[in-house]
Amino acid sequence: MHPGLSIDCVIFGFHESELKVLLLKLKNQKLWSLPGGFVDRQKAVDSEAVEVLFRRTGLRDIFLRQFYLFGDTDRHLPGHANKLVATDVIPPELENWFDQRFVSVGYYALVEYSKVQAPRPDFSSDSCTWKNMKDLPDLMLDHEKIIQKAYQILKRELNDQPIGLNLLPDEFSMSELQALYETVLDRKLDRRNFRRKMLSYDILEDTGKRRTGGAHKSPRLYRFNEEKYHKAIEDGLRSLW
Amino acid sequence: MHPGLSIDCVIFGFHESELKVLLLKLKNQKLWSLPGGFVDRQKAVDSEAVEVLFRRTGLRDIFLRQFYLFGDTDRHLPGHANKLVATDVIPPELENWFDQRFVSVGYYALVEYSKVQAPRPDFSSDSCTWKNMKDLPDLMLDHEKIIQKAYQILKRELNDQPIGLNLLPDEFSMSELQALYETVLDRKLDRRNFRRKMLSYDILEDTGKRRTGGAHKSPRLYRFNEEKYHKAIEDGLRSLW
DNA sequence: CCAAAAGTGTTTCGAGTACACCCATGA
DNA sequence: TCATGGGTGTACTCGAAACACTTTTGG
């Protein structure tokens, strides 16, 4: 039957200057979980991850990155499967099977919060919602650890790769982009230096438009040049050697 | 039985200014393979990788990094298992099982070539030797791709992390360290700039000794300050943000 | 007219790069 | 004494960081 291989997706979203993660709440339990699923023996692992993302968010063609394989033997506590049976999450005949070691591949994705319309829970969970990274609920298994690892890798990769595409509207102001970086990095950045550095990456285009409506000076709107953006991800933004 | 999960280790060694990979030659075949093995359901994946490294090289406490999970459906060509049976690598009853999709976790290690005394082959292979990265033999499955991916990630990580520990003797000259970097990067570096930059990382200690015996000025010998070295790996050598 | 955000330029500092000469050693 | 590699310093350029005032907008 199952190959004993599952995937877990850490789906990051950004909203109101806060970094969010999409989580499922398990039926009849207080625990939450990452969206994921088992990988069929016939399917390629990476494409299954794409499917999970699609099932939960309705989004395709999103930056999705495999970042780690979690394969420790102590990923769940004794009695874990028992609890799942007791709370009706899985049928009793699967209890033993669920008590063995699981190997899970972690993926993370960056998606635009507003484009995800009413994320849908699956059969084993009764809600699917965005949770603030700074205020995560109790999570099953080692999902907390998986999220933290994804976050750590995301921050490290920020040094070599741009982010923003799929995390912001198609057109955005420089301040919005900066707010994204500040949120992910969890600290303030200098406005002037940020603008200069970001423009120097040569991945932005000025749309020529302005956003009006705020009680302030109307900002220019930019968009990503997707070709250059993807090239930057491929080649890295800098290399020391 | 098997969980359908295997590991493959790309073990890099460095010798005479060449980057080597430790490979096994399959019994009765012209194909070579990466050292690896299946992961028992009871075992943690990372520690199995440590075991593979130990079985082949006799080394423990070596930098070993999980770098990717290979989970495509087309990892081997049709007839692959059949060939393995025909050439006596596996018994016939396993043919069907060997024909399904395999998921393999890639690890890479950096070890000192000279410390590996006569690497030992396993039951399915008749030799285990170092092969030059620039002249790889034909490899089974997607092992060539795995090696190239490991190499690519190694080069990228060089921008954030030092290398050298376990790849060089305990004490080494600056030129030897530079030769290592030049080999991995596959290009020449400026001697003066290399020294300055490397010293600025603050991970080296001057042993106070010199190496004599060459027909030249005798070079200072350095060693890594392991505490600082590991801290540099943890924290990264630089951060742009 | 005022509050709030947008836009802009300069200086300072450190790291990266290019480059050339003298020194020590063993053969 | 000579060939070979070891050791060192300086000038230039560029990116990073610190820092303050003026402009635009809607309320």
Do B31 and B40 touch, CB atoms closer than 8 A? no
Along the 241 residues of chain B, how does pLDDT read in single tens digits?
445 788 999 999 998 889 999 999 988 788 999 998 888 877 889 999 999 889 888 888 888 999 999 988 777 766 777 777 887 777 888 777 666 777 899 999 998 887 777 677 777 777 889 999 999 999 988 999 999 999 999 998 898 899 999 889 899 999 999 999 999 999 999 999 999 999 999 999 999 988 888 788 999 999 999 999 999 998 888 877 8
Chain B interface disruption, residue of A69, A99, A155, most B CBs within 10 A: A69
The H or E element containing residue B143 is helix B143-157
Would you list which residues of chain A are within 8 Å, Cβ to Cβ, of chain B? 3-5, 39, 41-46, 66, 68-69, 71-73, 100-101, 103, 105, 156, 158-160, 181, 185, 189, 236-241
pLDDT score, position B118: 66
pLDDT score, position B3: 55
Residue closest to sugar C1' of D18 by CA: A190
pLDDT digits (tens, 9 = 90+) for B202-235: 999 999 988 888 788 999 999 999 999 999 998 8
Along the 241 residues of chain A, how does pLDDT read in single tens digits?
445 788 999 999 998 889 999 999 988 888 999 998 888 877 899 999 999 889 888 888 889 999 999 988 777 766 777 777 887 777 888 777 666 777 899 999 999 887 777 677 777 777 889 999 999 999 988 999 999 999 999 998 898 899 999 899 999 999 999 999 999 999 999 999 999 999 999 999 999 999 998 889 999 999 999 999 999 998 888 777 8
Q: Which residues on adjacent β-strands are paired with residue B33?
A: B24
Chain A residues within an 8 Å CB radius of B41: 4, 100-101
For residue A184, give both structure tokens: 């992910």
CA dist., res. A178 & res. A184, Å (int) = 10
DSSP string covering A26-92, please? Answer: ETTSS-EE-SEEEPPTTS-HHHHHHHHHHHHH---S--EEEEEEE--TTSS-TTHHHHHHHTTSS-G
Q: How many CB pairs under 8 A join A and B?
A: 92
- Per-residue CA distances from B122 to A82, B37, B99, B208, B221 (Å): 41, 10, 21, 43, 38
CA dist., res. B57 & res. B113, Å (int) = 10
Would you list which residues of chain B are within 8 Å, Cβ to Cβ, of chain A? 3-5, 39, 41-46, 66, 68-69, 71-73, 100-101, 103, 105, 156, 158-160, 181, 185, 189, 236-241
CA dist., res. A105 & res. B72, Å (int) = 13
- A126 CA: distance to closest CA in chain B (Å): 31
Tell if the CB–CB gap between A73 and B42 is shorter than 8 Å: yes
Which 213-232 residues of chain B approach strand C with CB closer than 7 Å?
213-218
Q: In degrees, to the nearest 5, what angle opens at C-alpha A111 toward C-alphas A106 and A116?
A: 115
Tell if the CB–CB gap between B159 and A66 is shorter than 8 Å: no
CA dist., res. A99 & res. B50, Å (int) = 25
Checking DSSP bridges between strand A125-132 and strand B125-132, what pairing results, if any? Answer: unpaired
Report which of A169, A222, A228, A180 is spatially closest to residue A202, judged by C-alpha positions.
A228
Task: Give A17 CA → D24 C1' in Å.
Answer: 24
For residue A8, give both structure tokens: 């877990």
Q: Which of A5, A160, A238 sits opposite B5 (nearest CB)?
A: A5
Q: Which chain B residue lies closest to A187 (C-alpha atoms)? A: B241
Task: Give A114 CA → D15 C1' in Å.
Answer: 36
Q: Which of A69, A100, A238 sits opposite B45 (nearest CB)?
A: A69
Do A226 and A165 touch, CB atoms closer than 8 A? yes
The H or E element containing residue B47 is helix B45-57
Which residue segments constitute the domains of chain A, with CATH numbers given?
5-157 (3.90.79.10), 174-235 (1.10.10.10)
Q: Which of A5, A66, A240 sits opposite B159 (nearest CB)?
A: A240
Phi-psi region of B33 (alpha: psi -120 to 50; beta: other; left: phi over 0): beta
Tally of CB atoms within 10 A around B179: 17
B239 touches strand C (CB under 7 A): no
- Per-residue CA distances from A199 to A154, A176, B18, B171, B191 (Å): 21, 14, 40, 45, 34
Q: Which residues on adjacent β-strands are paired with residue A111?
A: A13
The H or E element containing residue B195 is helix B191-200
CB burial readout B88-120, b (16+ within 10 A) else e: ebbeeeebeebeebbbbbbbbbbbbbeebeebe
